[in-house]
Amino acid sequence: MEQQIRQQTDIPTTNQPIVETKTTERSAFASTDTQEQGSSHTAAAQIPGSFPPPAAHNRNSPYTSGPSAYMPKPETIYTQQLKEHFSFFGIGSLLYAIFYTFCLYKNASGITYPFFVAGTLFYFFFSMQKLGVPYKKSSIFYLISIQLLGISNCLTDSPQLLFFNKCGTFLLAAILMLHTTYNDKNWNLPKYITACFQIIGTALSCLFRPFADMVSYFDLQKKNKTSKKSYFLPVLIGIVITIPLLLFVTVLLASADAVFAEIFSRILEAINLNTIFGILCMIIVVFFCSYTVFAALAMKNIKEETTDHRILEPIIAIIITSALCALYLIFSVIQILYLFMGSMKLPEGYTYSSYAREGFFQLLVVCILNLIIVLICLYFFRENIVLKVLLSILCGCTFIMILSSALRMLMYINRYNLTLLRILVLWALAVIFLFMMGVAVFIYKNSFPLFPYGIAVVTIFYIGLSFSHPDYWIARYNLDPKHLTYLDDYDIHDNQNYLSTLSADAAPVLLNDKINFYIADINEWIREDGLPQSYDEIDAYLNREKGDVEQLSWMRLYYLKIQELAEEMHVRNFNFSIYTARQYLW
């Protein structure tokens, strides 16, 4: 019996190799895990500022093993380069902050702006080369565009154009940084938008990165004693000691000599403490912004691969676009019959001109809405031939709406006056028209580079608008005698008030007696005695009715504004538009 039990409990000899194989496999996996843990611990120990390796896993623990939640993300070669060359990026960011402050502190449109743009581009590419990021030849379009916007800033005095110039410079610079750091050849519009927000968020998370990198840099210098001697710490210590020492010695010398004390007190009186505080704040802010931008780019935490988001059912988009197409087709037929051809009877109480001058802003909003709808359908819904046809109809109706809105705006300008807002509406309609043409191609050809095409259209058109000085053409059109025949007294008064608010770009028209007929009659007297400082002075000399005197008030306001700008202009904030306007002052 005992012998039978032993035979039943014994493991057959044929299964022995299997058991040995499994045991061998388990030991091999255990060896591999041990090697991987050891290598990861070694790598973590080599990274400055990283967390220590976790303790060995307890086999008797009831918890499952896994990667630690507090393990830091592995650093890239660029972040390592940033730490190793902290002396370059730290001092470089400080020097750039000083350069930035010198060029732009209370100087929005000076001659220093083009030099600031050129210096910023040079510093960016030189720093990226230091990180090991090569220059791309395809960046030339962004470089030229950003530099042209910088040049435009010192050629115009229009606050609106200066604002748009800075916004355009910022957006193009952000795209240039992403284009230089990443392989964005296949990126689309949603990818670029998410990448811009992601790089901003990463930069904010790296706000205190300069301190951490400085500590890592000094630790690395201590470990590598045989490396090349660095002067960063001695220079920093020297500066820290020098500033309080100079203040202390200056106080002693001022108390020792009365003449020195008087001279020094005059210097202190000439110094504006608010200005010094503002300059120091700008230097500190720009320093951290400059360094954190490079830290964010060096992390390279944006995936270069684009994800296909076209996962939604096309039937949803088909229902929405088919309803819109039916409505837009009816509207387009009405535009063709009533507005373009003028062959149908208008509603009661409407003339053709009053009908044509309505609705241009609403149509602009609808055109922008149509553009957004088409892009959403193309990027988030699966391909469908019916949807493509409906989107094509939507694009065609949008073209008709653009033409309708542009025609209405031109008629409105002809009846009333030209303003910068109305020029911007016409500009936006032209840009949407060209961009919509690219969208129409993209509907049937997914390989069409829609985003670079859109960036090129917007950039080229805006640079043309910026260099054209719209205020000059506004003044030229609104003072045209043929145009003034269409205006009543109220419109003329409104026109004059608007002209007085224009920038120095309009001075060659408004202060030129050969174009501005309002000042032709009194031009000689103004040249001899200057422009009057009050309405009473004008009334006493001209002896005219009150209405005629009010016609001259807007010129007085404009003249005094240009005179003040000319008096405040010096070398650093020299502006070509203000300089040209100064030539027309009497």
222-245 pLDDT, tens digit per residue, is 776 655 566 666 777 887 788 788
C-beta separation of 359 from 405 below 8 A: yes
Supply the pLDDT for residue 342: 61
Q: Hey, what are 93's tokens?
A: 């960011």
| 69: three-class secondary structure by DSSP | coil
Cα(251)–Cα(276) distance, rounded to whole angstroms? 20
The residue whose two tokens read 């499952």 is 64
Cα(181)–Cα(203) distance, rounded to whole angstroms? 15
Residue 377 has pLDDT above 60, yes or no: yes
C-beta separation of 451 from 193 below 8 A: no
Residue 145 has pLDDT above 90, yes or no: yes
Cα(536)–Cα(94) distance, rounded to whole angstroms? 56
292-304 pLDDT, tens digit per residue, is 999 999 988 888 8
Cα(410)–Cα(423) distance, rounded to whole angstroms? 10
Cα(179)–Cα(295) distance, rounded to whole angstroms? 16
Average pLDDT, the chain: 79
17 versus 279: the higher-pLDDT residue is 279
Residue 421 has pLDDT above 70, yes or no: yes
586 versus 213: the higher-pLDDT residue is 213
C-beta separation of 146 from 117 below 8 A: yes
Closest C-alpha among 396, 402, 408 to residue 430: 402
Which contacts qualify for 316-321: CB closer than 8 Å, 24 or more apart? 316/381, 317/377, 317/381, 317/384, 317/387, 317/390, 318/384, 318/386, 318/387, 318/390, 320/373, 321/373, 321/377, 321/387, 321/390, 321/391, 321/394
Q: How many residues does the chain have?
A: 586
C-beta separation of 131 from 81 below 8 A: yes
- Comparing 19-28, 355-364, 414-423, the range with the smallest average pLDDT is 19-28
Cα(386)–Cα(403) distance, rounded to whole angstroms? 26
Written in H, E and C, the secondary structure of 336-357 is: HHHHHCCCCCCCCCCCHHHHHC
Query: Given pLDDT bands bounded at 50, 70 and 90, which one contains residue 212?
Result: confident
Supply the pLDDT for residue 61: 39
Q: Hey, what are 321's tokens?
A: 């676009």
Supply the pLDDT for residue 118: 95
Query: How crowded is residue 133: how many other Cβ atoms within 10 Å of its Cβ?
Result: 18
Residue 358 has pLDDT above 50, yes or no: yes
C-beta separation of 496 from 554 below 8 A: yes
Cβ-based burial of 83 (10 A; exposed 0-12, middle 13-18, buried ≥19): buried
Average pLDDT over residues 500-522: 83
Q: Where are the domains of the chain?
A: 77-299, 314-468, 474-582
C-beta separation of 244 from 111 below 8 A: no
Average pLDDT over residues 370-395: 92
Q: Hey, what are 202's tokens?
A: 């990463």
Query: Given pLDDT bands bounded at 50, 70 and 90, which one contains residue 504?
Result: very high
Start-to-end CA span in the chain (Å): 131
| 212: three-class secondary structure by DSSP | helix
Supply the pLDDT for residue 357: 59
Residue 541 has pLDDT above 50, yes or no: yes
Cα(204)–Cα(213) distance, rounded to whole angstroms? 16
Task: Tell me the range of 297-311, 497-511, 555-569 where mean pLDDT is highest.
Answer: 497-511
Supply the pLDDT for residue 242: 87
C-beta separation of 556 from 531 below 8 A: yes
383-405 pLDDT, tens digit per residue, is 999 999 999 999 999 999 999 88
Supply the pLDDT for residue 250: 83
C-beta separation of 360 from 415 below 8 A: no
Percent of the chain past pLDDT 90, that is, above it, reads 37
Supply the pLDDT for residue 238: 81
Supply the pLDDT for residue 496: 83
Q: C-alpha distances in angstroms, 532 versus 79, 287, 402, 510, 521?
A: 65, 49, 47, 16, 15
C-beta separation of 109 from 162 below 8 A: yes
Cα(174)–Cα(244) distance, rounded to whole angstroms? 40
The residue whose two tokens read 């039978």 is 4
Query: Given pLDDT bands bounded at 50, 70 and 90, which one contains residue 507?
Result: very high
Query: How crowded is residue 114: how many other Cβ atoms within 10 Å of its Cβ?
Result: 19
40-65 pLDDT, tens digit per residue, is 444 344 444 333 444 444 444 333 44
Supply the pLDDT for residue 460: 96
| 66: three-class secondary structure by DSSP | coil
Angle subtended by helix axes 77-84 and 112-131, to nearest 10: 110
State how far Cα 447 lies from the chain centre. Answer: 27
Percent of the chain past pLDDT 70, that is, above it, reads 76
| 216: three-class secondary structure by DSSP | helix
68-117 pLDDT, tens digit per residue, is 333 345 577 888 888 888 888 988 999 999 999 999 998 989 999 999 99
Phi, psi of 381 (to 5 degrees): -115, 145
The residue whose two tokens read 């916004």 is 167
Phi, psi of 231 (to 5 degrees): -100, 5
Could you tell me which residues are beta bridge partners of residue 381?
312
C-beta separation of 378 from 388 below 8 A: no
C-beta separation of 442 from 378 below 8 A: yes
C-beta separation of 455 from 171 below 8 A: no
DSSP letter string over 234-271? HHHHHHHHHHHHHHHHHHHHHHH-HHHHHHHHHHHHHS
Supply the pLDDT for residue 227: 52
Residue 307 has pLDDT above 90, yes or no: no
